[in-house]
Structure 1
Amino acid sequence: MSGALIRCFVAIPVSSEIAQLCADVARAAHSGRSLPAENLHLTLAFLGDRTRDALIELNDHFEAIKCRTFSIRLSGLGSFGNSLHMAVEPDSELLHLHESVQRCIRQAGLMLQRRRFRPHITIVRGIESALNKGFLQSPVPQATMVVTQFNLNSSTLRPDGARYETLSTYPLQLQGWSSQADDFADR
């Protein structure tokens, strides 16, 4: 069964507050199909179709990532093709996590398309190409979210939209926490 392919990606899940804000903005667009709250995420890497064995090896690499929790901030609206998204400021902590994930993927021997990382949360698919450009300039409420984990997710494509399932969760280290504190707890 290890030869079966699983369509998957690595992502940061969004908080319920950010999901609600995204839903409000998606409704205001009056175009396309809004993504359900449980599908909202910030993609760190799209892996495509992979074997279970490849994902097990990748899991070992992801578990070794040592990044601290950090905050992300929404920075406006944007679109790629027929999708509408909330842009996220590409701060140094987010870029560090993205680079760490990319490095793990390479170490596991997996190849990815080289794409510039443009952090965003897709909120609507199937928007009209004539979406009012003024709408894209609409102010987005200042919103931040603390990133405490990233996930390895599977994606099953269906006629009514993709369904995602979390395969593994990788917690980030709390700010101010060190491995010495872990050593102390073991005594």
Structure 2
Amino acid sequence: MPRLFTGLEIPPEICRTLSGLRGGLPGARWIDPENYHLTLRFIGDIDGAAANEVASVLLRVNRKPFEVTLRGLSSFGGRKPRAVVASVEPSGPLIELQAELERLMRRCGLGAEGRKFTPHITLARLRDASNQDVANYLSVRGYFPATVFTAERFVLFSSRASVGGGPYVVEDAYALGA
């Protein structure tokens, strides 16, 4: 059974910039730069027939390319930080694409996504990182100038169950263009 999700790929030059922020945080498991992505909709473990249906229904998406803006780092998890992420500004076109993908997945019989969509790129997963260590890391490396790229397609990724994310494989790509 494949584990699937839709997302945006991150351009290599931005991956290089983000990878330069790695290190200096005890308890962090850093994601390999080639696995950086922005998840739009987690689909999960599904059988081959359902995977084919998902891949087919994604062909219905007809949206224009749009700009994606990264602005600084933050952490997820509140009092128990569990990830360091690059924050992505929630623009109208990004939110609308994600909402359309959510509707299409529900039409395929998948349950609603349980979490509110907060666009981000996971850079590290945290295990036993203290709030103070995360705060110190973010105070030193958390700011970087806004970085913008144009999303010209979204993709259907597959992954193997693993610790820490990746490797991710592009199963299919869907161009954004009117």
TM-score normalised according to structure 2 size? 0.87
Q: Per-residue displacement from partner, 1:43-79 (whole Å, max 9, x unpaired)? A: 0011111111111111121101011001111122111
The answer for the alignment partner of 2:123 in structure 1 is: 123
SS in 1 for 2:130: coil
- Deviation beyond 4 Å, 4+ runs, structure 1: 28-31
1:181 maps to: none
Instruction: Assess if the C-alpha contact under 8 Å between 1:11 and 1:45 holds in 2.
Output: yes
- CA distance 1:11–1:74, shift in 2 (3 Å): same
| 145, 164, 167: which one aligns with 1:141 | 145
Q: Corresponding residue for 1:163?
A: 167
TM-score, normalised with respect to structure 1:
0.83
Specify the alignment match of 2:47 in structure 1.
51
**1:61 corresponds to which residue?**
57
Does residue 39 of the first structure (1) align with residue 35 of the second (2)? yes
**In the alignment, which residue of structure 2 is the partner of 1:26?**
22
Q: Do the aligned partners of residues 68 and 132 (structure 1) sit closer, same or farther apart at CA in structure 2, a change above 3 Å counting? A: same
Paired residue for 1:10?
Answer: 6
Q: Gaps spanning 5+ residues in structure 1: where?
A: 179-187
Aligned to 1:140, what secondary structure does the other structure show? Answer: coil
8 A contact 1:47–1:112 mirrored in 2: no
RMSD in angstroms over aligned alpha carbons? 1.9
Matches within 5 A, 1:91-102: 91-102=91-102
Give, in angstroms, the shift of residue 162 of structure 1: 2.9
The residue number in structure 1 matching 2:87 is 87
